[in-house]
Every structure is written in C-alpha cells, then in structure tokens.
Amino acid sequence: MSEPAGYLCLVLHAHLPFIRHPEHEDFLEEDWLFEAITETYIPLLDAFDRMVNDGTRFRITMSVTPPLAEMLADPLLQSRYERILEKYAELADKEVHRTSQKSQAEFHDAATMYQHICRRSLAVFRDSYHRNLLEGFKRFQDAGVLEIITCGATHGFLPLMTTANAVRAQIQVAKANYEKHFQRPPRGIWLPECAYDVGIDDALAAAGIKYFFMDAHGILYSIPRPKYGVYAPVYAPAGVAVFGRDIETSKQVWSRDTGYPGDVEYREFYRDLGYDAPYEYIRPYLHSDGVRRNIGFKYHRITGGADCDLSAKQPYRPAIARERAAEHAGNFMFNRQQQLQYIRQFLDRPPIVIAPYDAELFGHWWFEGPMFIEYLFRKIAHDQTEIQAITPSEYLESHPVLQSVQPAPSSWGDKGYYEVWLNGSNDWIYRHLHQCETRMAELAKENPRAQGIKKRALNQCARELLLAQSSDWAFIMTTATAVPYANRRTREHVHRFTVLYHQIKDDRIEETFLQDLEWKDSIFQEIDYHVYG
C-alpha cells in the first residue's frame, strides 16, 4: 500500500468506576455498567465483527481500564446484567405488541428496534462471549484490528498524588491487571483524564509503556515547541512517545450544540419510557425501590434545539437516523481528507490526526455513534485513498525517529488543567488520600515478607487506597451529578484503609472485618502490596 496523505487514529477511552455491591440485591449505580454494555460495548463488538467478516480494513485504539475489565469479568455483575437484560427483553416484546396498535404506530419501528437490541445483546453476551465481553475485545486485538491500551489502576488522578510510590502503584497494578486479562503487556496507556505532570513518564517507562496521549495544549506548550504541532508524536524525557489530541475532530463529534450528536433526527437521550409509561405498567422493570428512572427505551428524537421542551419531541425514526449517521461519517471523512492534505504540504512526513473520545459517547449518549464509527471505517476503506486508519504502535514502527521535548502539565478537563479535580467541592478528599499514600508506603516497607492474614490485610489496604483514589469521585463532586454516592465511596474506602492500617500496626487483624472487605471490594485479586515498597 502506497503512503497516504495522512493517518487517522481513532481512540476510544472505555472506562467506568468500579461499582459492585454484593451486599444489595440490586444497586442503582451498577446500571452505569449495564447501560454501557448494551448501548456501547456490544454494538462496537458487533461492528468490529461485521467489518472483519467482510474484509473491511479498520484500525481502532481503545482503552479498557482496569476497573472496567474487572467488572466485565466479574461473575456477580455478569449474572445481574443477564437478569436485567432478560427483563428488558420481556418489556421489549410487550412494547412491540403495544405499539402495533394504530394509536401508537408511530413508535412501532423504535419498539421493534429495541426488541432486536435486547435479543441480540443476549445472544452476543451469552452465546458469543460466554458472558465475558473481554473475550470479544481480546479476539479483535489478537486479530490485529484493535489495539487495547491500559489506564491507571483505578483511574487515579496522577498529578495530585504526592508520592512516587502512589503513581508507580497505579501504573504497575494496571499493567499486571492488563496482563491477567489479555495475556500480553500493554503497549500504550490512557493517562487518567489525560492528566500529565513532569516525571509521570518515568513511571510509564519503568512499566514498559511505549506511548500515551495528551490534550493539544500539553504538546503545543512543550519545551522546546514541537516542530510538527500535534500532527506527529514526540518523545517525553523518559523516552515514551506522546500523541496529542486534534482539536478540530473533537468539536465535530463531542459537541451536542455544534457537533453531529445534536442533529435533530438523532435519538433524544433525556426522554425515556421509564417516565412516560403508566406506573403500574413500568413498575416491574424498575429497581426494588420503585422510583421512576431511565430504562433505555427512548421513543423520541432530538427534534429541535436546546429550547425544545421534552414534551414537544417528535417520534424517533430509526431508518432516517441511520441514514444521517452515514451522512455524518462521510462528512467527517471528507473533513479529514481536506485537513490532512492541507497539513501534508508543510510536513516532511504524513501527519497523524489523533481523535480521542470517551467510548460511552458512542451508543450511550449518542445512540447512533457505533453506526457512525462503522460507516466511517467502511468509507475510509472503500471510498478514498488519501487517509489511512492506524494505531499508535503501527505509526511508531514506521516513524521511530521523533523530536524529544518536555510536555507541559495539563489535562483534557474543563480549562485544560487540574481544576475539575481540585476545587472547593472536592479539595477535602486530598488530605486523606495523601495520608493514606504515605501510610501504605510505610506498611509495605515495614512488612517486606508478610504471610497469611497479614499479607491479605496489606493487599486489601492497597485495594482500598486505589479505590479511594479514583478520579471519578472528585469529578462527580464537581459536576454535582451523584454527589452523595461519590462522597460515600471516598469516605468508605478511606475509613476501611485506616481501620486496616491500625489493625496491622497493632498486630490485631480482625479476620471477619477483613473478609467482609475482601467480599465487597474484590477488585485486583492478583494484587501484590509490594508495589508500594
């Protein structure tokens, strides 16, 4: 294949915080995982499968963060997802019957679509991948069309950690977990929140990581300034390659106001059958508390702008929305062709456009997103020759000589730095996290050869610290979405760590207490507390 005008690297960041509550029969926040499986992960796997089967060339880079991997592989969560999906399949059959009535006919196509989604999701989940979707992602990585990268162990915000031990542990635990699930070491990493500070690349290099991603300004404000801007990677001081996000592609896809997801024909996220249906009809499909909530059956399209009231939304038309996804994929490809051809004039090598997004944008928030991705890669493969899809590893293999710079501290959060994760709503957490970091290193140093129950307690201390460090809790406090839950999770993990710390120091570990924590906070069964030593 001749060299193209440039490359497109699509990066999907698949992440959810570790939420698993065996102490409850059902738990609302576990729905975050179940919704993402049905609306994002299975549709993406299906798209990959179709393209592989018909020989369409594509390349996607995708993080599967350690908390997400652990949840996808967890038997309890697998059984709960299957149970809720069976309930929704029952509801979908009822909805197809209900909307076959003349008065509801305008919703029948959407109801039939949901029936297909439920049946297909059950088939993929149970039959294709034996309830563990990691089998699917691993399959496509082994086939060479998907590059799976890791993240911080619990998506901890690395620049706000005060010890090198804490940063190193987040990286090393993530590496070990990746190897457990995918039987190979990770080549790349998605830094949590794309947050970088000087020296973090040292921890990455020590773990054998070859590349990571940053937002555009983190590259553009490097010292010295990058010769190629964000259109070629650079080397950080430790020799790890850094790829910078392209601003133009972000706006086209991210923005509900000016990007594709805001198109009037796309499905409206905020109007849901969980609120529209009569209560007695929908009650069997709600949580045990009986409170009305979104259940994922959405029958309306965006219709108008931000001022359009939910009551004025018009019926969703799946076929027209699919056509619009194909049109937008063609427009996105055309814009990349023009962008890369223009940039190529000024570079002595083909430029690379890095287009990173939260994976859950595609399918969950933007329902038609997985369709858009499949159409995009089909068009790139069959309708043009100027641009080529590529993974970071493939690019580095063909272009190993890069400029060396010192990237600038930055993140991809609002205003570009650390304010989302450190502000008046969440600053209280860090005094506790920092003390736990110091105490964990102290425990590891004092107990170099622990065995038995003490070793179990030390490993559980490491789990509790890692879970407390999740950047999701600080983010939720800032956005004011599920603040009581984020507060609770932070306080619980810090408390559990602190109790265990004192029990270990006093050599009076209570096994019943420890067993309860091992049952509840079961992440990283392979963990070794020595990572903090």
CA-to-CA dists, residue 188 to 104, 147, 486, 531, angstroms: 50, 9, 29, 20
**Residues whose CB is less than 8 angstroms from the CB of residue 40 and which lie 6 or more positions away in sequence, other chains included:** 14, 359, 360, 362, 363, 364, 369, 370
Q: What single-letter DSSP state applies at residue 224?
A: S
Length reported for the chain: 533
Rounded CA gap, 196 and 480, in Å? 25
Rounded CA gap, 41 and 77, in Å? 15
Rounded CA gap, 433 and 437, in Å? 6
229: tokens are 């801007």
Q: Helices 42-53 and 369-382: crossing angle, nearest 10°? A: 20
**Residues whose CB is less than 8 angstroms from the CB of residue 269 and which lie 6 or more positions away in sequence, other chains included:** 298, 365, 367
Cα angle 227, 233, 235 (rounded to 5 degrees) comes to 90
User: 402 with 235: CB under 8 angstroms?
Assistant: yes
Closest CA to 306 of 267, 368, 264: 264
63: tokens are 């993080």
Confidence at residue 307, expressed as pLDDT on a 0 to 100 scale: 83
- pLDDT per 10-residue tile (average), the chain, 533 residues: 89 98 94 98 98 98 98 98 97 97 95 98 97 98 98 98 96 98 98 98 98 98 97 98 94 80 95 97 96 96 89 97 98 97 94 97 96 98 96 97 98 96 98 98 97 98 98 96 96 98 97 98 98 95
Which residues are bridge partners to 10 per DSSP?
355
Q: Is 529 left (phi over 0), alpha (psi -120 to 50) or beta?
A: alpha
Q: How many CA atoms lie within 13 A of 232 on its CB side?
A: 22
Q: How many helices (H) and strands (E) does the chain have?
A: 20, 9
Q: Is 415 left (phi over 0), alpha (psi -120 to 50) or beta?
A: left
Rounded CA gap, 295 and 398, in Å? 47
114-157 residue pLDDT tens:
999 999 999 999 999 999 999 999 999 999 999 999 999 999 99
Confidence at residue 2, expressed as pLDDT on a 0 to 100 scale: 72
User: 222 with 234: CB under 8 angstroms?
Assistant: yes
Task: Read off φ and ψ for residue 183, nearest 5 degrees.
Answer: 55, 35
Closest CA to 525 of 36, 66, 51, 84: 66
Q: In CATH, which superfamily holds the domain spanning 423-532?
A: Families 57/38 glycoside transferase, middle domain (1.20.1430.10)
Confidence at residue 3, expressed as pLDDT on a 0 to 100 scale: 84
Torsion of CA 160, 165, 166, 171, to 10 degrees: 110
With b meaning 16 or more CB within 10 Å and e meaning fewer, what string describes 106-137? Answer: ebbbbbbbbbebbeebbebbeebbebbbbebb
Confidence at residue 256, expressed as pLDDT on a 0 to 100 scale: 67
Rounded CA gap, 272 and 293, in Å? 8
Instruction: List the CATH code of the domain at 6-72+139-256+348-415.
Output: 3.20.110.10
Rounded CA gap, 381 and 375, in Å? 10
Q: What single-letter DSSP state applies at residue 5?
A: S
User: 380 with 34: CB under 8 angstroms?
Assistant: no
Give the global pTM.
0.97
Q: Is the peptide bond before 448 cis (omega within 30 degrees of 0)?
A: no
DSSP 150-177: EE-TT-B-GGG---HHHHHHHHHHHHHH
CA max distance for the chain: 74
Which residues are bridge partners to 147 per DSSP?
61
Confidence at residue 1, expressed as pLDDT on a 0 to 100 scale: 53
DSSP 461-487: HHHHHHHHTBHHHHHHHHHTSSHHHHH
465: tokens are 């610290």
Q: How many CA atoms lie within 13 A of 280 on its CB side?
A: 0
